[in-house]
Amino acid sequence: MRETTAKLPDHERAHRGLRRMVLYGELAPGQPVTIQGLVEALGLGMTPVREAIRRLTSQGALVFKDNRRVQVPQMSLQEYGELAFARLAVEPELARRAVENMSDEHVLQLAALDHAVDRAIERGDVRGYLENNHRFHAELYVLSGAEVLLAISEMLWLRSGPSLRIMLGRHGTANLPDKHQEALAAMRARDAEGVAQAIREDIEQGIAQVERGLGPNGD
């Protein structure tokens, strides 16, 4: 379900808004942005925005340049490899556990998100792809109820997501295979190990594409 923020306190609205900006590539890695600029972009006060920045810096998603500017950190190939290793350890397990709590309605919701992913790829909609792909994974994983692993997964996505945005900015959404259909088929069969394997292969495909983009030739 899409996040609704209208009734949330300002500090939570600021956190969610800034988090989306990082996840979906609205802040380019290595490009400093002023805190005042974020205040204006989010339409919220300085105090909640500073609190949101503090929370995201604690997760490594942002770094301070000075007391008035922050940036999404640039990612080296080695650093991305470490994040990839951690994702492959955590996310298939979240997917496996999610099946225990999965209903037919959950599968329908995830299938709708996968359809939105496919539509975004067809249209060359990078922002739509990033958002709906993330939501597919996040809404699957939350069914696991594994709070510690979920917190780790969120941090990993925040730190690795901007690298995916760089790759998509260079190459577009063409040739973006995924294993969502295989995962959905396993979900319908309530095959936990099959879901975990499909998610593992899905992540591996994405990692391979980003690593090629981060490599010396960037291709």
Tens digits of residue pLDDT in 132-157: 999 999 999 999 999 999 999 999 99
pLDDT at position 177 over 90:
no
Which pLDDT score is estimated for 5? 55
pLDDT at position 43 over 50:
yes
SS3 25: coil
Which pLDDT score is estimated for 204? 94
SS3 34: strand
| Type and span of the H or E element at 74 | none
pTM of the model: 0.88
CB–CB of 139/3 below 8 Å? Answer: no
Give the residue-averaged pLDDT of 79-84: 93
pLDDT at position 4 over 60:
no
Which pLDDT score is estimated for 182? 97
What is the rounded distance in angstroms from the CA atom of residue 104 to the CA atom of residue 84? Answer: 31
Distance of CA 77 to the CA centre of its chain: 18
